[in-house]
Amino acid sequence: MQRIMICGAGGQLGQKLIGAAKAAPNDWRIFAYNRSSLDITRPEDLRVALAEARPNICFNAAAYTAVDRAESEPARAAAINVEGARRLAAACQEAGIAFVHFSTDYVYADGYNRPLRETDRTLGTSVYARTKLEGENEVLRHHPGAYVIRTSWVYAEYGHNFVRTMLRLGREREELGIVCDQVGSPTYAGDLAAAAMQLSASGAPPGIYNFANSGVCSWYDLAKAVHTMGGIECTVRPIMTEQYPTPAKRPSYSVLDTRKIAATVGTPRHWREALTSCMDKLARHAAGAAPLP
């Protein structure tokens, strides 16, 4: 029986990785660790968890993702996104454990007017971006056989994400102003998890891969789609980035070129199709017809 270790299992991606592992044709024995059961910044915690799990493969979905708070907590962000990732990758390399690490569109330099390729220039313009980029570098330096998957605008039926926030605010308020000059590709965590599982078992060359659902939209477009699918009547106004200042700079263009990973796992479905799947699950759960997956 194959053994799989999932770090950051309490988050939206981590929970979807558990689901993807259960659905995989491989007969996995799953060892899932959330923040309270494994702190990847503590070497002793890592030693104990790896000794318990003895995995064939480890997926690292543990990350500091509070983009704005990272500006005032750079040491904490670096401890998780850089040092924790490095320690985990190095331990897996030493033990001969395959490794999959997740990163972000924030690492790319801004200014491109075409989908971003894995070989494009990187430039961390915020604490979060810098620590994720440094984490990527450390992972690949200490585990050359690792897969690093960059993704964007991730959401799921649970956790803190834009889709759930728009559902809540749309029900609470009569009007919302949503940024329209930042564009990207929303990514359903379930699709990302399934692709990561397929990639890890494919024998494809290690290195950096982009994954996001197909298609392009702005945050304004995504908010409108969420409200339409959710049957929410709320006026959504398009606003510019400067009208919604944040401590951390956001990328203005986050559309990812996914041709590299598509050659192995297939072309990702369109973001509207993926969003529809998520919204249907939320609706069935709200009606008491089904638990959240």
Instruction: At 41, list the tokens.
Output: 């910044």
Q: What is the pLDDT of residue 25?
A: 76
Give the integer Cα–Cα distance in Å for 173 and 234. Answer: 7
Instruction: At 66, list the tokens.
Output: 């509070």
Give the integer Cα–Cα distance in Å for 128 and 77. Answer: 7
Whether residue 128 lies in the annotated active site: yes
- Kindly list the distances between the CA atom of residue 218 and the CA atoms of 1, 209, 223, 255, in Å, as whole numbers in the listed order: 44, 23, 9, 10
Q: What is the pLDDT of residue 290?
A: 59
∠153-156-159 over CA atoms, to 5°?
A: 95
Average pLDDT over residues 169-186: 97
Give the integer Cα–Cα distance in Å for 199 and 203. Answer: 7
Average pLDDT over residues 131-145: 98
pTM as predicted = 0.96
Confidence class for position 264, pLDDT limits 50, 70, 90: very high
Which residue in 128, 188, 220, 253 is the catalytic one? 128
Q: Which residue has 């290690």 as its token pair?
A: 206
Q: What is the pLDDT of residue 1?
A: 75
Q: Per-residue pLDDT for 291 more than 90?
A: no
Give the integer Cα–Cα distance in Å for 71 and 77. Answer: 9
Sketch out the chain's domains with CATH numbers: 2-153+188-213+255-268 (3.40.50.720)
What are 21-45's pLDDT values in tens digits? 998 877 889 999 999 999 999 999 9
Average pLDDT over residues 174-186: 97
Confidence class for position 206, pLDDT limits 50, 70, 90: very high
Q: What is the pLDDT of residue 292?
A: 66
Averaged confidence pLDDT in the chain: 95
Q: Per-residue pLDDT for 286 more than 80?
A: no
Contact status, residue 177 vs residue 243, Cβ threshold 8 Å: yes
Q: What is the pLDDT of residue 288?
A: 66
Q: What is the pLDDT of residue 285?
A: 74
Instruction: At 184, list the tokens.
Output: 């990207």
What are 102-120's pLDDT values in tens digits? 999 999 998 888 999 999 9
Contact status, residue 173 vs residue 234, Cβ threshold 8 Å: yes
Q: Which residue has 């309490």 as its token pair?
A: 10
Q: What is the pLDDT of residue 112?
A: 87
Contact status, residue 91 vs residue 170, Cβ threshold 8 Å: no
Which positions ≥6 away from 6 have C-beta within 8 Å?
14, 17, 18, 21, 30, 31, 32, 33, 58, 59, 61
Confidence class for position 293, pLDDT limits 50, 70, 90: low
